[in-house]
Amino acid sequence: MAFSFFKVSLAKAWRRIAIPTDLNLDFLSASILDAFDFDSDHLYKFSYKDRFGIKATVFHPYMEESPSTDEICIGDLPLKPGDSMIFHFDFGDDWKFQVLLEQIDPPNAKIKKPKMLESHGRAPKQYSSWDGEW
């Protein structure tokens, strides 16, 4: 299986993630959230431009719109190195991650599952204004 390498940025922090292209976008979402130490308890969507330059969106499986992130594999996206998409997470707090596809590599025996390769900068706190009490 081939691998996609993404540079994911949020505020001044960024993470480089390698992920198999045969995994769906739910796996990419989980990898991004894990890399930034975010909980995965909110809806999300990915938006990008298709090969005609028209905005396309893939939605969280619990949303009514389609297609959903559990149906679309990373390798099926019409992205080439240098293209980017937005990972919009938690529509209340409105987190928007920039997801840049840096490269696509052939199978790599050293990497068998999603993996964070680099981490730069401190990730913002997911719930910075929440003090943990009701």
Residue 20 within any structural domain of the chain: yes
CA dihedral 112, 16, 67, 72 (to 10 degrees): -20
pTM of full prediction above 0.85: yes
Q: How many other C-beta atoms lie within 10 A of the C-beta of residue 110?
A: 6
Mean pLDDT of 26-46: 97
Distance separating alpha carbons of residues 51 and 49, to the nearest angstrom:
7
84: its two tokens = 């980017």
The total number of structural domains in the chain stands at: 1
Distance of CA 130 to the CA centre of its chain: 24
Structural domain that includes position 107: 3-118
Residue 63 within any structural domain of the chain: yes
Question: Which tens digits make up the pLDDT trace of 99-121?
Answer: 999 999 988 777 779 999 999 99
The CATH number of residue 107's host domain is: 3.10.290.30
**b/e for 49-73, b at 16 or more Cβ within 10 A?**
eeeeeeebebbbeeeeeeebbeebe
Residue 134 within any structural domain of the chain: no
Residue 19 within any structural domain of the chain: yes
Residue 129 is predicted with a pLDDT of: 66
**Poorest-pLDDT segment among 1-5, 96-100, 130-134:** 130-134
Question: Which tens digits make up the pLDDT trace of 56-86?
Answer: 999 999 999 999 999 999 999 999 999 999 9
